[in-house]
Structure 1
Amino acid sequence: MSINPKKSRSLVSIAGLVAVATLISKIFGLVREQAIAAAFGVGPVVNAYAYAYVIPGFLLILLGGINGPFHSALISVLAKRDKSEAAPLVETVTTLISGVLLLVTIVLIVFADTFISILAPGLEGEVKAIAIQQLQIMAPLALLAGLIGIGFGTLNAADQYLLPSISPLFSSVAIVIGVWILIWQFGSNLNNPENWYLGGMVLAGGTLAGGVLQWLAQLGAQWQAGMGKLRLRFNWRLPGVMDVMKVMGPATLSSGMLHINVYTDLFFASFIENAAAAMRYANFIVLTPLGIISNMILVPFMPVFSRLTAPENWPELKVRIRQGLLLTALTMLPLTAIFIALADVIIRVIYQRGAFKSADADMVIPVLMTYGIGMFFYLARDVLVRVFYALGDGETPFRISIFNIFLNGFLDFILYKPFKTPGLVLATIGVNLVSLIIFIGILNKRLGGLPLKEWGNALLALTGISFVAGVASWGVSWGWQQFYTGNNLILQLLQLLLSVITAILIFLVLSIQLKLPEVDLLLSRIKGKFQS
């Protein structure tokens, strides 16, 4: 008997629960970024933190994230076994993984200077020293990342979804509390050089505290579910342990390749003053709607693609690929228009207060606009990768990801000097665009031809509509500023809200005129989400 034999909870209800929990976590993440911006602006503390968090953050995403290799490996094995086998299996895997990651933690602490020098050769003086100190404080997150990932997989296998999805907010809460205590104690003096080290310690310490709280919350839930306790167990030959490792090892290596481009970007960013901090603030804004929309709209396509891989089903598969690409365009292109047209208002509403001044906003605004340009290419590439996985071909995306590492490094090298920080984002866009073209070319040949002209015309029409929507929203924002100026937050929010509504309505009305079936599909899915 498997751990979760009952089917009382549908996939739709699970997806809805995860979406709500993810949204709550994202809201707390926004509050966290606002607190950091108010305390430190785009300055040395945040810039150092961006580099110090690279390795711990990478491990948290890779090992501790939902759908990460630890999460996926445990679910794939536990779901096929009796519940009585779960606790010994989880405790054995936890013991093995903890031993390895404890060594990683020690290495990070001892060689923090070396790692920061490799990641950010352009950092010097106090900024580098702060980054080294922050990395040493956050090094235990390497161990916690594995434990959190194991907790995600274990709890999901036990049919518990809310806590794993909402638990990342613990880190945000811990950081916000620490930052606001600092602001209360030091006020405007917090961003003075003599307080940089203290600020850096609070950011790193809050991040570590959040990781500890996240793990402890999961551990308590594991105990209650009978899925293992905090117990050392060295029975490597226990049935299921090697099955977990066989899935976990290759998946970890494959997933890790995707993050190398991030390191490459930060390597070149270290030669641009405060570039890493600016990218951090802008990237968070883009990833928030991107993550939510990708889960809500595109996740259902993976099982659909998988059912249509036989040659006789390829006509239907082509229709589904078109749906995936056009739904991506219908959701990402209006966001592109909004981020380009309203970047200044968005940045000032979200971040401009406290230590985050107008000059800081001026650094982040062009970065946000550039990120906005690349949203469609990022998600469309992800749709096509899912098609290859459904076809049982993981080798092609892996090979292209290897090629992308070198392409990204080349584009970073030629773009970072003339375009500064936006150039690094343009390099990422270039990589995603090239990948998209290669994937389409391979699928066109493998599936016996795709209606590329038809798809291209639809995408071109939607791009034109998004341009019109962007111009209209910019016009509304500009007109508002002619009558209402100043830094009143309520008025700025109203300006942003009115401009965004204008863009969405115009995009929607004009898109309906194209009579694309994907428009009706999108509207029906949105309606279903609100009714569920």
Structure 2
Amino acid sequence: MSETKKPSRSLAGIAGIVAVATMISKVFGLVRQQAIAAAFGVGPAAGAYNFAYVIPGFLLILLGGINGPFHSAIVSVLSKRKQSEVAPIVETITTLVGGLLLLVTIGLIVFADPLMHLVAPGLYISPEVAQAQGVTPEQFQVLAQTRAIAVQQFRIMAPMALLAGLIGIGFGTLNASDQYWLPSISPLFSSVTVLIGIGVLAFQLGPQITTPQYAVLGGIVLAWGTLAGGVLQWLVQLPAQARAGMGGLRLRFDFHRPEVKEIIKIMGPATFSSGMMQINVWTDLFFASFLPQAAAAVSALGYAGLLVNTPLGILSNMILVPLMPVFSRLTDPADWPELKGRIRQGLLLTAVAMLPLSAIMIALAFPIVRVVYERYAFDKSASHLTASLLIAYSVGMFVYLARDVLVRVFYALGDGDTPFRISIVNIFLNAVLDFLLIKPFGASGLVLATVGVNVTSSIALLVILHRRLHGLPWRELGWPILGLSLGSAIAGGSSWATLKACEQFLGTEGIMTQLLELTTAGSVGLAVFALFATQLRLPEVDLFIDRIRQRLLRR
């Protein structure tokens, strides 16, 4: 066994680098979505892009994402080897994975149309079926245009399959050499290239960019911008990888090396397990494609989802990153009483962070969407649709993060099978709920189905932990969450009342007026929750405030 290479940075330092880089990438991601919304609204170009990106995005998240299976497998193996031994391993894995994914890329290009039919069958309905379902001729024309644009975009973005694997290998290789900034910041390159493409198109077309006749051209720009971002994301890793002596573009065929076999052994199950959540995303879009206004629905799903995932991603890092090593140190049965206390702490921190944010976002959903997106092609009707989905997303913020906390406990206990089995059940449950809820609630029903899946999986994880750890502190857990829920409801009501009062005096139009009203109403809601939460005298409230203060002071 080779000597393990010791990291040169502390855990806190690494977490700080990753947090800052992640926030910068998310800000650029939000700006990209704002530009797409302004240029294309919820029309065919944006709707087709959401459908066409399902498989390329699935592969990029699955293979090329930080903490994805490629990244995790590479880090776990290379971190045990001397740096001088790494290059042949990386080059062999790159050769193997690159060859396989090149074949996948060719298959995606050749079979683009049938694969798009699989992703979004609702776009392929016949005129007779559309008429029987009450789809108007105008809506059917939009569906046909969306389908044509989506197939074209899919072919353009097909090489993302190859790039995803190369990016994931690069992420893992750089992290194994104690480099964290570049892998964490590189996702913003995709946002930058899309922004450049939209900017050039807007410069050439002017206000005409928002008109339907340029939807095809807009769709092509989105696809090529995304592909260019993937290429750039991979290329920027190569010089750093070469400087660190971690391999290059040399072809190697040492497939029988023990390290290569070990990486493949880890990568296979991890890839399958990580794909469960993305299957749920595909299921949602599958059902969304049958809506009469499918393009508008999937566009709004993307816009609303980003508004929730941006704060959720930032706050989840603050909660999950420090807790994972703590859970891992308390797996001995003698330490289970303290582990139960830490589980309670993690769930209450989640409640303190997510419950008031959920309530305030529900109360202020419409002005939030207007401030962030409503300009040019993104009109007030698009704001209403996106706001309804934002409300549905916000309902499930607490259970989404609570489930992640509980899953980390199982991982710390060395049990990845239980979350995996629950994920498999969730695939079928999500499909059933999508089918039941889409008719009465439309696109919002798809989001509520996901919320229902997260609720049931969280309950299942809690029940199993209760049995395995010989009892959880239900009373010490339930009553504080109930109290925080009540305080959050009051905070949300206060924000809504403040918003309505401001609108009476200031009106509802104008970006500065909307921003002022939104800031005022949100601040009132947070202040009300803070006053209520401090009366509960929970140590988790003080701990969360301390973490926020430390993060702000560090910046």
Structure 2 counterpart of 1:221, one-letter code? A
Residue in 1 that maps onto 2:129: none
The range that moved more, 307-316 or 368-377, is 307-316
Q: How do residues 21-60 of structure 1 correspond to structure 2 at under 5 angstroms?
A: 21-60=21-60
Q: In the alignment, is the contact (CA less than 8 A) between 1:2 and 1:83 conserved in 2?
A: no
Structure 2 Cα separation of the partners of residues 503 and 486 of structure 1: 19
Structure 2 Cα separation of the partners of residues 397 and 237 of structure 1: 32
Query: Is residue 387 of structure 2 the alignment partner of residue 368 of structure 1?
Result: no
Residue in 2 that maps onto 1:304: 326
Task: Report deviation, 1:4.
Answer: 4.0
Structure 1 Cα separation of the partners of residues 266 and 158 of structure 2: 26
Q: In the alignment, is the contact (CA less than 8 A) between 2:363 and 2:492 conserved in 1?
A: yes
Residue in 2 that maps onto 1:139: 158
Structure 2 Cα separation of the partners of residues 238 and 441 of structure 1: 43
Structure 2 counterpart of 1:80, one-letter code? K
Task: Report deviation, 1:479.
Answer: 1.3
Task: Report deviation, 1:191.
Answer: 3.5
Task: Report deviation, 1:530.
Answer: 3.0
Q: Residue 164 of structure 1 is aligned with which of 161, 183, 192?
A: 183
- Determine helix, strand or coil for the equivalent of 2:472: coil
Q: In the alignment, is the contact (CA less than 8 A) between 1:97 and 1:146 conserved in 2?
A: yes
Residue in 2 that maps onto 1:68: 68
- Determine helix, strand or coil for the equivalent of 2:121: coil
- Determine helix, strand or coil for the equivalent of 2:204: helix
What whole-Å deviation, never above 9, does each CA across 1:360-413 have from its counterpart, x for those lacking one?
A: 111111100110000001110111111111111111111111111111111000
Query: Is residue 288 of structure 2 the alignment partner of residue 288 of structure 1?
Result: no
- Determine helix, strand or coil for the equivalent of 1:448: coil
Q: In the alignment, is the contact (CA less than 8 A) between 1:188 and 1:355 conserved in 2?
A: no
Residue in 2 that maps onto 1:218: 237
Q: In the alignment, is the contact (CA less than 8 A) between 1:3 and 1:158 conserved in 2?
A: no
Structure 2 Cα separation of the partners of residues 507 and 77 of structure 1: 46
Q: In structure 2, do the counterparts of structure 1 residues 6 and 462 end up closer, same or farther at CA, with 3 Å as the change threshold?
A: closer
Q: Residue 335 of structure 1 is aligned with which of 357, 371, 388?
A: 357
Task: Report deviation, 1:312.
Answer: 1.3
What whole-Å deviation, never above 9, does each CA across 1:48-105 have from its counterpart, x for those lacking one?
A: 1001000010111111011011111111111111111111111110000001110111
Aligned length: 531
Task: Report deviation, 1:189.
Answer: 2.2
Q: How do residues 56-455 of structure 1 correspond to structure 2 at under 5 angstroms?
A: 56-123=56-123, 124-272=143-291, 273=293, 274-455=296-477
Residue in 1 that maps onto 2:497: 475
Structure 2 Cα separation of the partners of residues 494 and 20 of structure 1: 27
Q: In the alignment, is the contact (CA less than 8 A) between 1:174 and 1:206 conserved in 2?
A: yes
Structure 1 counterpart of 2:285, one-letter code? L
What whole-Å deviation, never above 9, does each CA across 1:223-268 have from its counterpart, x for those lacking one?
A: 1111111111111123411111111111111111221111111111
Structure 1 Cα separation of the partners of residues 207 and 290 of structure 2: 28
Structure 2 Cα separation of the partners of residues 452 and 282 of structure 1: 34
Task: Report deviation, 1:456.
Answer: 1.2
In structure 1, runs of 5+ residues without a counterpart are none
Residue in 2 that maps onto 1:525: 547
Residue in 1 that maps onto 2:6: 5
The range that moved more, 416-425 or 386-395, is 386-395
What whole-Å deviation, never above 9, does each CA across 1:122-149 have from its counterpart, x for those lacking one?
A: 1141110100000000000000000100
Task: Report deviation, 1:163.
Answer: 0.7
User: What TM-score comes out, normalization by structure 2 length?
Assistant: 0.94
Q: In the alignment, is the contact (CA less than 8 A) between 1:336 and 1:372 conserved in 2?
A: yes
Structure 1 Cα separation of the partners of residues 36 and 334 of structure 2: 55
User: What TM-score comes out, normalization by structure 1 length?
Assistant: 0.98
Q: In structure 2, do the counterparts of structure 1 residues 382 and 6 end up closer, same or farther at CA, with 3 Å as the change threshold?
A: closer
Structure 1 Cα separation of the partners of residues 409 and 285 of structure 2: 30
In structure 2, runs of 5+ residues without a counterpart are 124-142
- Determine helix, strand or coil for the equivalent of 1:299: helix
Q: In the alignment, is the contact (CA less than 8 A) between 2:15 and 2:321 conserved in 1?
A: no
Structure 1 Cα separation of the partners of residues 61 and 277 of structure 2: 11
Structure 2 Cα separation of the partners of residues 502 and 4 of structure 1: 50
Q: In structure 2, do the counterparts of structure 1 residues 350 and 258 end up closer, same or farther at CA, with 3 Å as the change threshold?
A: same
Structure 1 Cα separation of the partners of residues 468 and 520 of structure 2: 46
- Determine helix, strand or coil for the equivalent of 1:259: helix
Q: In the alignment, is the contact (CA less than 8 A) between 1:89 and 1:241 conserved in 2?
A: yes
Residue in 1 that maps onto 2:134: none
Q: In the alignment, is the contact (CA less than 8 A) between 1:325 and 1:383 conserved in 2?
A: yes
- Determine helix, strand or coil for the equivalent of 1:94: helix
Deviation beyond 6 Å, 4+ runs, structure 1: none
